[in-house]
Homo-oligomer: A and B are copies of this chain.
Amino acid sequence: MEGEPTRIMLAVNESTIKGYPHASISSRKAFEWTLQKIVRSNTSGFKLLFLHVQVPDEDGFDDMDSVYASPEDFKNLRNRDRARGLHLLEFFVERCHAIEVGCEAWIKKGDPKEVICHEVKRVRPDFLVVGCRGLGPFQRVFVGTVSEFCVKHAECPVITIKRSAEETPQDPVDD
């Protein structure tokens, strides 16, 4: 017997091109990598903890065509966001269920890098896996990346999985 499973937290997000409910290329890559290289056949030895952080839509750009006439409309909007996030997580949870790997999944709102580090502190996973779009040096200076922040600040070991060259769209921001 092996004792408690190793608890791996995975931060997952939606595709920047396709939007919800599609998972980003880098999230799927990080997930598949974890299954292939770490979990392997030892499905009972690991538990995957999926965290999806939704960024509050401050400028409302996506909702330019919507009309808000009542408080109810805003509530519906929030429910719709929540449903989209759940749909994203469903992809990962279903894969785990199919191969019999234990998992949990949840949604938080906020700045992804801050929320991920906060959740690491709260949930105490054995380590954190984050995907990474592999931005060029120029973009990295201005954008920073969630993965770099987590490597520095998360209170657990962090492994960053970069997309391979053939998985990278021509515009590296696409995901």
Q: Does A157 contact B (CB under 8 A)?
A: yes
State which of A36-44, A67-75, A109-117 sits at the interface with chain B.
A36-44
A sample of 17 inter-chain contacts (CB < 8 A) reads: A2-B40, A2-B41, A6-B36, A6-B37, A37-B126, A38-B38, A40-B42, A40-B45, A41-B45, A42-B45, A151-B151, A151-B160, A157-B160, A157-B161, A158-B159, A158-B160, A159-B159
Copy count, this protein chain = 2
Question: Quick one: closest B residue to A33, CB to CB?
Answer: B157
Per-position binary interface string of chain A over residues 154-173, scored 1 when its CB falls under 8 Å from any chain B CB and 0 otherwise:
00011111100000000000
Specify which chain B residues have a CB less than 8 angstroms from the CB of A158 in the assembled complex.
159-160
Q: How large is the interface on A (under 10, 10 to 19, 20 to 34, 35 or more residues)?
A: 10 to 19
Q: A157-B160, A161-B157 are in contact. Are A37 and B151 (CB under 8 A)?
A: no
Q: How far is the CB of A147 from chain B (nearest CB, A)?
A: 10
Complex-state Cα separation, A158 to B37, whole angstroms: 13
Q: Does A20 contact B (CB under 8 A)?
A: no
Specify which chain B residues have a CB less than 8 angstroms from the CB of A41 in the assembled complex.
2, 42, 45
Specify which chain B residues have a CB less than 8 angstroms from the CB of A38 in the assembled complex.
6, 38
